[in-house]
Structure 1
Amino acid sequence: MTSSTAMARVLVDELVRGGVTDAVFCPGSRNAPLAFALHDADAAGRLRLHVRIDERTAGFLALGLALRSGRPVPVCTTSGTAVANLHPAVLEASYAQVPLIAVTADRPAQTIGTGASQTIVQEGIFSGAVRLAATGTVAGGNASWRALVGRVLAAATGGPPGPVHLNLPFAEPLVPGPSVEVPDGRPGGAPWTAVPPVVRSAPPLPLDPAAPTLVIAGTGTPRFSVDAPVVAEPSSAMWPGSLRAGPWLLDAVRPAQVVVAGRPTLHRSVARLLADPDVAVHALADPHGGPWTDVPGTVRAVGSLPEITSPAGWRERWCELDERASAVLDAAALPTGLQLARDLVAALPDGAQLVLGSSNPVRDVALAAVPRTGLTVQSNRGVAGIDGTVSTAVGAALAHDGPSYALMGDLTLLHDTTGLVIGPDEPRPDLTIVVLNDGGGGIFGLLEQGAPEHTAAFERVFGTPQTVDLAALCAAMGVEHVPGLPLDPPSGIRVAEVRAERASLRDGHAALREAVRAALA
């Protein structure tokens, strides 16, 4: 067996022993040893292989698989620009603490800088975005290769979890020789190096236990019990028990102290609250050792949550305001995006998963939907980009035991159309992608650049109108297209298109804000 083949087969064997159940692969020549090793592992039922032709799509597919499963997922590429195409997914995984493993084939070191084809400097390409950057060597041998995988998995799942780069210079020949036996690992399928999970403890926060306290929960929040009102983002584990109209209430009533959990990023009303010098802001420590959120620099302490006892009437006051605002949200003629978000979340069956696109969809759910149990909500809020959302949703659906849905805008879909290109031999999820098609970038109409004084420039450079026929696009991709919002369980992948217009979006949101403000007065 050639040295490159031996290394690839040992690495794949040890990844499986370490808990890897899915791997994503993009075709190439230099990564041929990994292709054969992964194909054989898939054929033996040891892992599930997903092959994609686009490395950027592959990176987000692996991210979606890891996001839902919580297990590390390798994405394997050939050398050169193929590696660079993983960078967006690596960045999202880094800030969202998702255990993604970028396994990149490389040319032998002596070819770097010689003008060799498809050759760049790959070591360090992801810079500080990865928890570990390691390089394997074909001269390492069985024990060295297996120990390397142990370090890679420990870094990907450690404190905090995140992406790892494993760069593998493969020397020719790149295809297997006559012998394909894998050098022995530990007996019984055990990993070569057993590494315990990293869990950190922190002292209790120095809170006033009787002060009016509010919890702000963002993505990455662990679920916990607290005797205080909670304003949570949809992708937070605290969302099911949170105030439905929480983001609308923050300018109407102020707590004495706030506990920030996870990474809230959606609402300007939250940002204003956390920047208020009259509010004592504290942060809940990440059990994996990740950083805390403190954009305005107001956090006074980081720690664990002590016992809190809400003052008489404090929670009741928030619940009363929540009911008033919710009544407005239920009675008003909502903009299409808010209405779609409200109706979709309410209609999904228990056990379903919902992946929310960035920009308006995740905010629409936060502003209009009723928080509920029985639903797993995911969203790429690490860097909060729109790229890779289709692929993330496909990956998350493949890792979910139940029906999956995604809600995104038309530009988000078009930004990742290759996420719909799935080969005939590849695993396909049951996934309905609900697309709010308003012919451009709706969120910008709600921001400062959407003000009337910027009308002359707005539509071309911010609205970015598009006229793509989504039905024809889906037909070309071999994906079912349906108009409106189907609620029957999906079979395979389908795109459900809901039409909307952007012209009245800004005024519609403004009118809704005024109606809620009047109800809370």
Structure 2
Amino acid sequence: MYSSERNVQMLLSLLKVHKIKKMVLSPGSANASFVASAQYDGEFELYSSVDERSAAYIACGLAEESQEPVVICCTGATASRNYMPGLTEAYYRKLPLIAITATRPIAWLGQNRDQLIDRTVIPNDIAVKSVHLPVIENEQDEWECNLKINDALLELQRNGGGPVHINLTTSYSLDFSVSKLPEERVIQRVVWGSELPKLPNGNMAIFVGAHSAWNERLKATVESFCEQYNAFVFYDQTSNYTGKYGIPCGIFDIAGFPNLKIDLLIHLGNISASWPALAKEIWRVNSDGEIRDTYQHLTKVFEMQEEEFFKAYCEHHKTGQTTQYERWHAVYNSRIETLQSCNNDMAFSSLWIAQNMHKKMPKNSIIHFGILNSLRCWNCFGVDHSIRTYSNTGGFGIDGGVSSLIGASFVSSDKIYYGIFGDLAFFYDMNSLGNRHITSNVRILVANNGLGGEFKNSLGNVQKAGLGDSANEYISAYGHYGEKSPELLKHYAQDLGFQYLSAVDKQSFLTAMKEFTTTEHKEKPMLFEVFIDEHEDVSALDLIQSLSDFSESEQNVIEKTKKIAKSILGRNGVKMIQKVVRKND
């Protein structure tokens, strides 16, 4: 029967779903699990060729004449090297060959193991895509193999097509006891002009990751889609979505709402700091047509412009309901109201700053956020639709945020450009403040808690590992950059011609915020340094995680959240007292 090796089963199953049946097989032991399983299946059209060089050329002729993809499969060692002439022919003629080369675990490469050669790097002109399939031992391996097989098989016909390479790891299992191939997730690519698949029934939403500014046509088309299909839009601050059916996803991202289900999520944009609500199925719409299985439920990729996608689905369907948006928006509003009701109890933190500042930002301004906590906290709230927002989520490193803000500020001298950064991200890029092209339209807020807060909050792996304050030594960057010196940034900013503002508590922040968010253009750029306690910064995220149970009455949630807020403050008070005692000792 079929081999017990799961990667073999998955590969055969997906070959069948993708309607690939022709195979030219060469003898060997490493590929025996695959070959014997294909032979048992009975639905594949099999041919044998001892010489792998000949097998590849046979497949070229077979593919050209039949106008169908053809599999070639060989054992390890030098057998695969003999495929190169035929695969080169297939590459330049754009013939759809699938070269499956069996291998022992690649961890053994270079360890003097017999019949094991390196195929992790291949010549540029023998395959349009090369993937390696590990032995499947857990769910992550299973997802990886499924994704890579789908990706490789979809490349056979893309942009004119060509050969692909699949390096298949074998465990040499002698177990051939599997009687039926499992059903595997199939990913399909849909190109503009082809027949569009039918939208599934159920709850539908759109999620927008990092995205450039929307034109009015795209926004109107998405709004029409939401109205016709009873859908809505999840977005974060990097999405630049300003339509009327949008819901900020930050609270859902941090707290999680397991009882709110999405059947189909349509994914727009690129790398995001947010994770939207879980969905049974995800469709990605992007003109690059690439397989981006960010949330591991991808089933279709639409290689087309976003406007084309939504316009095509809006042509023949009309319902005029927005109940899903209303339901989700009501939950969102209730959580925001709960946070606002706890405003006095919430710690002076990055989240409190975002909550009290997001509505004060001047219209038509531009905001650049530092990655992670700065962006995470502001993702919980919406800003005025005239404001555009960005973050360096492409490389997703802490460096360059301030420089990107400054570069953007060169474009429009009449706009105010804001930057919201944590201290570590700011100090990493602070030399950019010396650039002589900076003008008075730049305003930067630095939330200075004295370390990398991401390594200390309850969402991070370091905190979950129980490292606590021991992470300060070498992980959280504690103690650098003046240890929250009240003078360091003040003198640096003023010497470079900046107006310097600072705050150490809620009252001083609210006072300085009025100057920082004024709509008037000032004579100097501004730097606003806000000193916050690292433990209080973490406590705000603990607070927002308490909002996940929306099955309770609103009053109960509010009361529970207030108690959590006060208990957090009490815990931090104890820590502060302990610090004082240790210092006096």
Q: Which residue of 1 aligns with 2:132?
A: none
Whether 1:262 and 2:269 are equivalent positions in the alignment is yes
Match in the other structure for 2:517: 487
Indicate whether 1:338 and 2:351 are aligned. yes
Contact 2:421–2:446 (CA<8 Å) still a contact in 1? yes
2:327 corresponds in structure 1 to 317
Contact 1:213 1:229 in 2 (8 A): yes
CA distances 1:159-183 after superposition (whole Å, capped 9, x unpaired): 9xxxxxxxxxxxxxxxxxxxxxxxx
How many residues get paired? 312
Q: TM-score, with normalisation over the residues of structure 2? A: 0.49
Q: 1:434 aligns with which of 427, 438, 445?
A: 445
Partner of 1:362: 375
Q: Which residue of 1 aligns with 2:361?
A: 348
Partner-residue secondary structure (3-state), 2:397:
coil
Choose the corresponding residue for 2:233, options 230, 235, 247.
Answer: 230
| 1:329 CA drift (Å) | 2.5
**Does residue 219 in structure 1 map to residue 251 in structure 2?**
no
Tell me whether 1:326 sits opposite 2:336 in the alignment. yes
Q: Give the C-alpha shift of residue 493 in structure 1.
A: 1.9
Identity %: 17
Alpha-carbon offset, residue 480 of structure 1: 2.3
Higher relative contact order (CA 8 A, sep 6+): 1
- The CA distance in 1 between the partners of 2:543 and 2:438, in whole Å, is 46
Alignment-derived partner of residue 63 in structure 1: none
Task: Specify the SS of the correspondent of 1:314.
Answer: helix
1:474 aligns with 2:493: yes
Q: CA deviation at 1:346?
A: 0.9
1:457-468 matches, within 5 Å, as 457-465=470-478, 466=480, 467=483, 468=485
Q: Distance in 1 between matches of 2:250 and 2:371?
A: 19
Distance across 1 between alignment mates of 2:195 and 2:410: 39
Match of 1:380 in 2: 392
Does the residue aligned with 2:366 lie in a helix, a strand or coil?
strand
Contact 2:498-2:527 at 8 Å conserved across structures = yes
**Shift of residue 449 of structure 1?**
0.6
CA contact (8 A) 2:402 2:426 kept: yes
In structure 1, the gaps of 5 or more residues are 1-158, 160-199
Instruction: Report the alpha carbon displacement of residue 285 of structure 1 after superposing the two structures with TM.
Output: 2.1
Structure-2 change in CA distance of 1:427 and 1:321 (3 Å) = closer
The one-letter code of the counterpart of 2:204 is: T
**Amino acid in the other structure paired with 2:329:** C
Aligned equivalents of 1:252, 1:389: Cα separation in 2: 36
Partner of 1:47: none
Instruction: Report 1:162-201 matches (<5 A).
Output: 201=192
Q: Match of 1:443?
A: 454
Alignment partner for residue 278 of structure 2, among 248, 273, 278?
273
Q: Distance in 2 between matches of 1:473 and 1:417?
A: 10
TM-aligned CA distance change 1:203 to 1:371, over 3 Å? farther
The answer to whether the 8 Å contact 2:351/2:540 transfers is: no
Contact 2:273 2:372 in 1 (8 A): no
Following the alignment from structure 1 to structure 2, what is the Cα–Cα distance between the partners of residues 339 and 404? 21
Give the Å deviation of 1:375: 0.6
Rounded Cα–Cα distance in structure 2 between residues aligned with 1:480 and 1:234: 27
Pair 1:253–1:473, CA change in 2 (3 A): same
What's the C-alpha RMSD, in Å, of the aligned pairs?
A: 2.8
The normalised TM-score by structure 1 is 0.55
Paired with 2:293 and 2:418, the residues of 1 have a C-alpha distance of 32
Question: How far has the Cα of 1:234 moved from its partner?
Answer: 0.8
Larger radius of gyration: 2
Instruction: State the partner residue of 1:285.
Output: 286
1:301 Cα offset (Å): 1.1
